[in-house]
């Protein structure tokens, strides 16, 4: 039989209030598969994005600018018209301009409720899966430094909206050709369109967004507009994990496509 543990001073799954099961878990399925795939996928993205962020090259090919490098805030940017969007960082900034801007999407995704689950399970095994005890002795959740900083997610959401706005602008500019004439559409335009739809869907499906839109209301009947918006955001929110992954892939694909064009692998197929 399963008896309550008699350990005193024990924490986590070994506390007195928990059943004392000698086995680490009683699951018979391949419970490790999901966290292993998650870790592998995240690792692949980390390796790819680190390479591209530090590359400081091949991030622009008219009319496409890589989403990793937009907005370009340093003097050393080489984008549309040969310079930065806003020259906030002067010639003293010698590193890749991507490093100035990636901190915002990175912070947004790092503190995201879904990604937290993903890397707590995939990398820290805390816990690795449902009903599988974690290897760590103590569990303090997100109540202490540094994990208490996860609470700033809402502020990263505000920045994420700004970044999505900039990427929307970049996508609009892909309807111009290399001479800045409107009416262009290439394969890159379609890739940018798919990416910006997924970026917005991911951003809007954010749990913080859902709370900003419909939280703290006592009577939905008195706030019909917010109630309706909250319903829409809630529908997207159900798909948050899917959107987190698909927008992660799409942003990497958009960047890689620009890399291929800029490094001369092939010309952008043009529809009109």
3-state secondary structure of 194: helix
Selected binder of ligand FES within 64, 68, 69, 114 (CB under 6 A) = 114
Distance CA 37, CA 17 (A): 33
Q: How far is the CB of 206 from ligand FES (least distance, A)?
A: 3
Q: How far is the CB of 205 from ligand FES (least distance, A)?
A: 7
Distance CA 18, CA 1 (A): 13
Q: How far is the CB of 125 from ligand FES (least distance, A)?
A: 21
* 173 lines the binding site for ligand FES (CB under 6 A): no
* 112 lines the binding site for ligand FES (CB under 6 A): yes
150: left (phi over 0), alpha (psi -120 to 50) or beta: alpha
Stretch that binds ligand FES, among 12-20, 82-90, 107-115, 129-137 (CB under 6 A): 107-115
Q: Are strands 60-61 and 64-65 parallel, antiparallel or unpaired?
A: antiparallel
> CB within 8 A of 242, min separation 6: which ones?
none
Size of residue set near ligand FES by CB under 6 A: 10
Q: Dihedral through CA 78, CA 81, CA 83, CA 87, nearest 10?
A: -150
* 113 lines the binding site for ligand FES (CB under 6 A): yes
Selected binder of ligand FES within 61, 78, 153, 184 (CB under 6 A) = 153
Stretch that binds ligand FES, among 23-31, 109-117, 138-146, 252-260 (CB under 6 A): 109-117
Distance CA 44, CA 47 (A): 5
Selected binder of ligand FES within 102, 206, 213, 262 (CB under 6 A) = 206
Q: Exposed, middle or buried, 85 (CB in 10 Å: 0-12/13-18/19+)?
A: buried
Q: Please work out, in degrees rounded to the nearest 5, the angle formed at the alpha carbon of residue 198 by the alpha carbons of 197 and 204.
A: 90
Subset of residues 207 to 246 that bind ligand FES, contact rule: CB under 6 A = 207-208, 240
For ligand FES, the closer of residues 59 and 119 by Cβ is: 119
Q: Which residues bind ligand FES (CB under 6 A)?
A: 108, 112-114, 153, 157, 206-208, 240
């Amino acid at each position: 039989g399963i008896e309550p543990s008699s350990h005193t001073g024990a924490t986590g799954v070994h506390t007195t209030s928990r059943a004392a099961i000698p086995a680490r878990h009683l699951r018979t399925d391949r419970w490790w598969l999901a966290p292993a795939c998650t870790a592998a996928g995240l690792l692949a993205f980390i390796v790819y994005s680190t390479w591209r962020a530090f590359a400081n090259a091949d991030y622009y090919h008219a009319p496409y600018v890589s989403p990793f490098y937009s907005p370009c805030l340093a003097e050393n940017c080489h984008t549309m018209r040969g310079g930065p969007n806003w020259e906030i960082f002067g010639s003293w900034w010698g590193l890749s301009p991507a490093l100035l801007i990636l901190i915002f999407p990175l912070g947004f995704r790092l503190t995201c409720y879904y990604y937290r689950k993903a890397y707590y399970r995939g990398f820290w095994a805390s816990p690795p899966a449902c009903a599988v005890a974690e290897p760590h002795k103590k569990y303090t959740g997100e109540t202490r430094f540094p994990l208490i900083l996860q609470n700033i997610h809402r502020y990263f959401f505000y920045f994420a909206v700004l970044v999505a706005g900039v990427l929307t602008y970049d996508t609009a500019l892909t309807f111009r050709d290399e001479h800045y004439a409107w009416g262009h559409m290439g394969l890159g335009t379609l890739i940018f369109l798919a990416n910006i739809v997924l970026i917005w869907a991911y951003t809007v499906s954010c749990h913080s967004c859902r709370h900003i839109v419909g939280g703290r209301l006592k009577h939905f009947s008195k706030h019909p507009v917010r109630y309706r918006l909250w319903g829409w955001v809630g529908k997207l929110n159900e798909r948050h994990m899917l959107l987190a992954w698909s927008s992660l892939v799409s942003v990497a694909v958009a960047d890689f496509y620009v890399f291929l064009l800029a490094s001369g692998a092939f010309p952008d197929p043009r529809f009109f």
